[in-house]
Amino acid sequence: MKDSQKSSEFQRKDYVRPNQNWACGHLCNGEACRIGPSPKGKCRATTECVPLLDVKPGEAKGHYKCTRPASAGGKCPNGPFPDGTCCKSIPKCQPRRTLRAIRKRIVAFTVIASILILFIGIDRKARDEFINPGPVSSTHASQHFSDLTKKITADDSSCSACHESARRNADTWPTKVREALSGGLAPHALINKGPSPPSGMDKNCLACHAGKNFHQPNMATEFACHSCHVEHQGSGFMPEVSSASCLACHESPELMAESRQMASNVDPHLFPSSQIKSNVKHPSLGRPDGGYTKLIHAFYDGHPEFRVIRDKVKDLNTLKFNHKLHLASGEIPELHGKSLSCKDCHETDSKGEYQLPITYEKNCVECHALQFDKDTPGLTLPHGDPFYIRSFLRSLSIQYEEYAKTTEGITLKEPLREYVRSKGANVEELYQTGEYMERAVFFADMKGEVPGGRRAPFAGCATCHDVSQPLVANGAPVIAKVAAPNRWMEVGKFNHSMHEKGMSCIDCHDVMNSELTSDVNLPSIKSCVDCHSPKGGIDHRCVRCHNYHNTTPGSLFGETSKQPAEKKEKTSGQ
């Protein structure tokens, strides 16, 4: 580098930098390069010269000559390399701002700051607009919120309800200034990368929103409330949480790897998915190995297949049902003059979100009346406990008598006795014995076939139910309990009524080809992505289907939800 030092014959045109914004990083050592930095402060140093090919008369190839000027030390003794490359490479440097550039920035900052201070100080309206970051949401601007926070903070200032610093006097400002300076004032340090860590403001949020809890006990890091819930964006409702807040974790390989490691040391019963109060505990819907830590970039990019579909989960319900038979076979009689449709059995709740449970009394009885006597269609068997069904059959004379009184209008003693006698004779002619009648009621299938080769004039319990022999002598047959989950994907939100506009059930549910009860018939994620993606044009934000917190945080108006098990503190052993 000695050759690049300025000689006594240094020419000013080769190095003029004071009026420029950047200077060579080697200038402090007196070894600044001749070309200098670019206008944007990038080092442009390569080699000390560009060798020139000299071909003399009679030569075929010629040779390269050094072109380093006298101001830079003249021609070097070794000359260029055979390939024409200069043998004197200049090491790269980190250009620095010149005194002129620094002075210019300081002056500009001082002028702008002075103008702002004067403008804000003179004009009260401008001062208030400058200090106020914007209107708060309607809930936080309500009188109820003001009265509530006044009780908590004993402060009339609305700002102090959330901002801890608003409760402090001017004598605390020097302390806050020192705290700010200790963190550095470099531009890159002031720019917040990713969600903010928890702060004192979170305590103020929890004073009203009781029950807030992060959604997983294996979170690698926790964030401040305002990282996701952004205030001062308008006087209406607070903006919904953006997907970027979710992807701050779910798109990070480092955080997902740490969460996966933490999950191996956390009691699985502490996870929200294990605390769901479902009507049926389905063994094939447990928490997956490693948890939900697959990297996700968007709902349409990286979101895993719904676990019910991916793991080929089967419905363990013992009820015998065939969707294809009811909807596509053409063998089922019309109901109210029309072929059966999904809505004849499936009904949404009052909000239009989820399907209500299917019950015999509400959804099946209109087609499957439990008639056992074709001559008395109005008298049907009770549905439910097999013990009561058997008791009904063994007290048929009483049942016929009550039916005659309430339905046929027969009240005189002799006609009533004759009615019961004639009905009993018809039943005896059909079944011969009471024992066979009971067996036919319980074990006849859809075609009326009873085990043993005999037939019954009706379909029995075994048409829809799994019926087995009594467990004890003289006991009633055992009918397997019917139990299907009310919801298969309980950690996600869905609204059926919003999807009925322009769509039908079979667009998502492949029930026309389903012949088994074990078929869950849920749509795959592809069915959803076709619409919920930039291509489909339908909202695909995370909050459309998921809630971040374990339970919905308590509202300002006293509604609180039961908190799940508290998250264990992170220790070196977890």
- pLDDT at residue number 189: 58
CB neighbours (10 Å) of residue 341? 14
Whether 492 is in a domain gets the answer: no
Higher per-residue pLDDT: 237 or 188: 237
- pLDDT at residue 310 above 80? yes
- pLDDT at residue number 11: 44
Report the domain count for the chain: 3
Mean of pLDDT values over 46-75: 82
Report the SS3 class of residue 414. Answer: helix
- Percent of the chain past pLDDT 70, that is, above it, reads 84
- pLDDT at residue 549 above 90? no
Write a three-state SS string for 176-243: HHHHHHHCCCCHHHHCCCCCCCCCHHHHHHHHHCCCCCCCCCCCCCCCCHHHCCCCCCCCCCCCCCCH
If asked whether residues 189 and 87 sit together in one domain, one would say no
Q: What is the pLDDT of residues 371-415, one digit of tens each?
A: 888 888 889 999 989 999 999 999 999 999 999 999 999 989 999
Are 435 and 394 contacting, i.e. CB atoms less than 8 angstroms apart? no
Higher per-residue pLDDT: 550 or 280: 280
**Range name among 169-173, 325-329, 378-382, 519-523 with the lowest pLDDT average:** 169-173
Maximum mean pLDDT: which of 220-234, 325-339, 506-520: 506-520
Whether 177 is in a domain gets the answer: yes
Residue with tokens 């009188």: 143
- pLDDT at residue number 88: 82
If asked whether residues 48 and 141 sit together in one domain, one would say no
Are 326 and 511 contacting, i.e. CB atoms less than 8 angstroms apart? no
- Percent of the chain past pLDDT 90, that is, above it, reads 29
The residue from 427, 445, 479 where one domain ends is 479
Whether 337 is in a domain gets the answer: no
If asked whether residues 209 and 297 sit together in one domain, one would say yes
Mean of pLDDT values over 249-264: 91
Are 294 and 288 contacting, i.e. CB atoms less than 8 angstroms apart? no
If asked whether residues 276 and 154 sit together in one domain, one would say yes
**Displacement of CA 41 from its chain's centroid (Å):** 45
If asked whether residues 85 and 184 sit together in one domain, one would say no
Please tell me the distance from the alpha carbon of residue 544 to that of residue 195, in angstroms, as a whole number: 21
Q: What is the pLDDT of residues 284-306, one digit of tens each?
A: 677 777 788 899 999 999 999 99
> Which backbone phi and psi does 91 adopt, to 5 degrees?
-65, 145
Whether 297 is in a domain gets the answer: yes
- pLDDT at residue number 204: 84
- pLDDT at residue 33 above 70? yes
Whether 48 is in a domain gets the answer: yes
If asked whether residues 165 and 245 sit together in one domain, one would say yes
- pLDDT at residue number 133: 80
- pLDDT at residue number 1: 42
If asked whether residues 259 and 142 sit together in one domain, one would say yes
Looking at the DSSP bridge assignments, the partners of residue 23 are 96
Q: What is the pLDDT of residues 341-352, one digit of tens each?
A: 999 999 999 988
- pLDDT at residue 124 above 90? no
Whether 485 is in a domain gets the answer: no
Report the SS3 class of residue 454. Answer: strand
- pLDDT at residue 569 above 50? no
If asked whether residues 172 and 258 sit together in one domain, one would say yes
- pLDDT at residue number 215: 79
- pLDDT at residue number 331: 86
Are 379 and 403 contacting, i.e. CB atoms less than 8 angstroms apart? yes
Across all residues in the chain, what is the average pLDDT?
82
Please, which pLDDT band fits residue 192 given cuts at 50, 70 and 90? low
DSSP secondary structure, 68-100, as one string: --GGGTSS-SS---TTS--S-BPPP---EE-HH
Q: What is the pTM of this model?
A: 0.65
If asked whether residues 554 and 455 sit together in one domain, one would say no
Whether 289 is in a domain gets the answer: yes
CB neighbours (10 Å) of residue 13? 6
- pLDDT at residue 428 above 90? no
Please, which pLDDT band fits residue 548 given cuts at 50, 70 and 90? confident
- pLDDT at residue 450 above 80? yes
**Range name among 10-19, 204-213, 229-238 with the lowest pLDDT average:** 10-19
Degrees to nearest 5, angle at CA 101 with 180 and 16: 150
Higher per-residue pLDDT: 188 or 298: 298
The residue from 479, 513, 540 where one domain ends is 479
- pLDDT at residue number 541: 93
> Which backbone phi and psi does 298 adopt, to 5 degrees?
-170, 170
The residue from 97, 118, 149 where one domain ends is 97
- pLDDT at residue number 563: 39
CA distances in angstroms from 242 to 247, 248, 493, listed in the order given: 9, 11, 16
- pLDDT at residue number 22: 85
Whether 76 is in a domain gets the answer: yes
Q: What is the pLDDT of residues 90-119, one digit of tens each?
A: 888 888 888 888 888 899 999 998 887 777
Range of the domain at 396: 386-479
If asked whether residues 142 and 92 sit together in one domain, one would say no
- pLDDT at residue number 251: 92
Mean of pLDDT values over 494-498: 90
- pLDDT at residue number 24: 85
